[in-house]
Structure 1
């Protein structure tokens, strides 16, 4: 019985792989900062990993250096930087007093993030259009990071552990849910946009320039809520559609 094997090309593309490696380094450094009780620094390292995660794929497409190796490497990097790092950070920050219940909650976040990545890798992009199925794992990591930065640097305290457990469970559920989240895949800067959208972008940039920690906390929270909002919107539209079809045009 013959087994077909895929012969890999020798070598890897340097630039996108280097960007992915930088993301892995940021995720690893988040572990180091967490063990030194520098929780806000660890949260920032995770956010920097998000920047590299957003760059590697775009650079690969622009330079036509996309490869199967790059896809798999990027997924492994995401598990480290956006799954293991924020899970460990959350446990060390406020979940440790819960004992095994605390680290089980952190593990659930990691598990659901890994499942979310696996589902993303086997889902055809054309099926969802300009949306993600489930909360992306980098967005879930960004929510945790923004909470820690806000409470450590602005409120000089820690979030109530019980509330944080609820947040972790909520993020885990949303990652493996069927809720749709905006992917911004069709966002192009060459096309014309309405003035109101341009004004909104300017306001967001202004907020990040003046009060970055508060802006980050609000933006990540709004994105987190966008999934349930789009779901409720679609339910409302589907329930109104039969009523509109039954209206007599006379």
Structure 2
């Protein structure tokens, strides 16, 4: 039967509704990316005011939003070039500028005097974070192992600074504490290194077939952050920092785990 004006109108409305729904789904990941960037920007402002713990919490929220936007984008099928570029710009604010300024204000105790070592270390962090993000965006290798990042990811590097602030933030203040610069310089150099770091994107993917390992890890992390948050944060951040050294040593112990347990957790 030839389409009538009524059926044509109904089809037009349905098509418009589907198009609006797709547009809303495509926008959803960018909202999490925007929240990531705004948390990083606010962390910069409160760092200048000397509220170091609050700034560290805000950068931690940026890490959560950064993980969430990728998972949401894969869930709704909205992985776009715009989203990738927007995510990198947000990461440069939240994991490049914010941790560097947080570390610098702690080191200089809020003074504006010239601190060449502090300036150099924090400038190194920003430069390495920018190089790391640019290299990640421009390096496309279909044959690369998706389970690993080349160089330490910027959220993981920022986690080292956050854990350090929570664990011994009071002892980090003062120009005589040069060891504070190592907390900045070492993760910064690892970001642009060729060392492989494990990627957990497959674990947080909503399409992973066996989420048992993720569920077990999430429960342990929640328990740890509720009862011993500082210890949990330090173990998590520094454990990831040292993972390329620790995993080759511990890998022989994996043979002791029964195959059935490995199958459930993987």
- TM-score, normalization: structure 2? 0.74
Q: Please give the alpha-carbon distance, in whole angstroms, between the structure 2 residues aligned to 1:60 and 1:52.
A: 12
| Aligned equivalent of 2:200, options 175, 181, 184 | 184
Q: Please give the alpha-carbon distance, in whole angstroms, between the structure 1 residues aligned to 2:31 and 2:215.
A: 33
Query: Does the Cα contact within 8 Å between 1:179 and 1:231 map onto a contact in 2?
Result: no
Query: After the TM superposition, which residues 113-132 of structure 1 pair with which residues of structure 2 at under 5 Å, given as runs?
Result: 113-123=129-139, 124=141, 126-132=143-149
| Aligned equivalent of 2:116, options 90, 100, 107 | 100
1:48 paired to 2:61: yes
Query: Does the Cα contact within 8 Å between 2:172 and 2:180 map onto a contact in 1?
Result: no
* Distance apart, 1:34 and its partner CA: 0.5
Q: Could you tell me which residue of structure 1 aligns to residue 178 of structure 2? A: 162
Secondary structure at the aligned position of 2:184 is classed as helix
| Aligned equivalent of 1:141, options 158, 162, 173 | 158
Aligned length: 220
Q: Please give the alpha-carbon distance, in whole angstroms, between the structure 2 residues aligned to 1:92 and 1:163.
A: 15
Q: Could you tell me which residue of structure 1 aligns to residue 71 of structure 2? A: 58
Q: Please give the alpha-carbon distance, in whole angstroms, between the structure 1 residues aligned to 2:136 and 2:107.
A: 30
Query: Does the C-alpha gap of structure 1 residues 192 and 59 become closer, same or farther in structure 2, counting only changes over 3 Å?
Result: closer
Secondary structure at the aligned position of 2:54 is classed as helix
Q: Please give the alpha-carbon distance, in whole angstroms, between the structure 2 residues aligned to 1:72 and 1:121.
A: 8
Query: Does the Cα contact within 8 Å between 2:149 and 2:197 map onto a contact in 1?
Result: yes
| Aligned equivalent of 2:91, options 58, 64, 78 | 78
Return 5+ residue gaps in structure 2 as ranges: 1-22, 253-266
Query: Does the C-alpha gap of structure 1 residues 134 and 26 become closer, same or farther in structure 2, counting only changes over 3 Å?
Result: same
Q: Could you tell me which residue of structure 2 aligns to residue 69 of structure 1? A: 82
Q: Please give the alpha-carbon distance, in whole angstroms, between the structure 1 residues aligned to 2:244 and 2:69.
A: 26
Secondary structure at the aligned position of 2:172 is classed as coil
Deviations 1:119-176 (A, max 9, x none): 1112236413301111101111111011011223xxx433662111122111111111
Q: Could you tell me which residue of structure 1 aligns to residue 257 of structure 2? A: none
Q: Which moved more, 1:137-146 or 1:158-167?
A: 158-167
Query: Does the C-alpha gap of structure 1 residues 203 and 52 become closer, same or farther in structure 2, counting only changes over 3 Å?
Result: closer
Q: Higher Cα Rg: structure 1 or 2? A: 2
Q: Could you tell me which residue of structure 2 aligns to residue 88 of structure 1? A: 101
- The CA RMSD measured in Å over matched residues stands at 2.7
Q: Could you tell me which residue of structure 2 aligns to residue 173 of structure 1? A: 189
Query: Does the C-alpha gap of structure 1 residues 24 and 168 become closer, same or farther in structure 2, counting only changes over 3 Å?
Result: same
Secondary structure at the aligned position of 1:135 is classed as coil
Return 5+ residue gaps in structure 1 as ranges: 1-10, 237-250
Query: Does the Cα contact within 8 Å between 1:180 and 1:230 map onto a contact in 2?
Result: no
Query: Does the Cα contact within 8 Å between 1:134 and 1:178 map onto a contact in 2?
Result: yes
Q: Could you tell me which residue of structure 2 aligns to residue 216 of structure 1? A: 233
Q: Please give the alpha-carbon distance, in whole angstroms, between the structure 2 residues aligned to 1:67 and 1:199.
A: 31
